[in-house]
Structure 1
Amino acid sequence: MAKSNQKKRTVKVEALGQAHIQATFNNIIISLTNNQGQVISWSSAGKMGFRGSKKNTPYAAQTAAEDCASRAYEAGLRKVKVYVKGPGAGRESAIRTLHNSGIVVAEIVDITPMPHNGCRPPKRRRV
């Protein structure tokens, strides 16, 4: 079978973009996009080598944010609006790491979905 001549998709990077941080109870996923929503770079705690309960720690979020921010900074991203979703532990440390890596945080918006009495939540843990 011959090699197909598919051109690699390139993303237009402007100085201003968006950072989407999804912090669940099990993992944290960070995506840096341009204003059209096309992903420039992404990273997660699982991608950085953390497994199990270590994925949802502030340190795992910090390393994932460092990796993601360094690649986006090289591509030309300089300023972001941060959109945070979820109740996870590494939300603040991920935002702090983005700021410390040289990317200016212009705005922080919490877009955590809140139910208007939807599904029944899981039972309380008895430890």
Structure 2
Amino acid sequence: MLLNKTKSNYLLKYNTNIREKIRDIKKTFEKNKLIHQNLSVNYFFNKKEKKLIEYKIIIHLANKNVIFIITDKNSKIINYITSGLLGYKGFQKRSKDAVIILLKKIFFFFNYINNKNTSIYIKGLKYNRKLIIKKLKKKFIVKSLIYNDILPHNGCRPKKKKRI
């Protein structure tokens, strides 16, 4: 008997707290309609949504090829596609057309990544980098962008070699 009363008292207090919070939310929404667009109910209840990265897209932009590798969060390769696999040869492999067709193939065949949290790793040169990022941001939820430029900045001048 006592347990039921304490449970019911707890539930009543919990429900009244929720009702008060909802009443406060409604008042703020009535005062300023713009808040409704920016804030959600989770903001007022202090519930944090966990948004973990589920997939990684690794992009190698080499001198003569473009490689897209899709891995899961444990870095196990799910699939990959290159411009050479599409039938391009030579300089065509790193052209803008090859990159656009690669992205279309990724969006078509790997549609299970849509609306999932992804991180993008870009290694190599800067050819078509902005195009790739813009297209990927439209289709996937990008949580992080990591650049790894391999190009040297030429550094210090080396010493002269001795003539013998």
User: Which TM-score bucket, shorter chain as reference?
Assistant: 0.5 to 0.7
Structure 2: which amino acid aligns with 1:103?
F
Determine the C-alpha separation between the residues in 1 that align with 2:149 and 2:86: 24
Aligned with 2:102: secondary structure?
helix
Count of residues paired in the alignment = 104
Partner of 1:54: 92
1:26 paired with 2:64, answer yes
Q: CA RMSD in A?
A: 2.6
Higher strand share: 1
1:53 CA drift (Å): 0.9
Aligned to 2:149: 112
CA shift, 1:48, in A, is 1.6
TM-score (norm 2): 0.54
The TM-score, its normalising length taken from structure 1, stands at 0.67
Larger relative CO (CA 8 A, sep 6+): 1 or 2?
1
Q: Work out whether residues 124 and 149 of structure 2, in 8 Å CA contact, stay in contact via their aligned partners in 1.
A: yes
Q: Of Structure 1 and Structure 2, which has the larger fraction of its residues in helix?
A: 2
**Structure 1: stretches of 5+ with no match in the other structure:** 1-13, 119-127
Residue 72 and residue 25 in structure 1: after superposition, are their counterparts in 2 closer, same or farther (change >3 A)?
same
- 1: CA distance, partners of 2:144 / 2:113: 21
| Consecutive unaligned residues in structure 2, runs of 5 or more | 1-51, 156-164
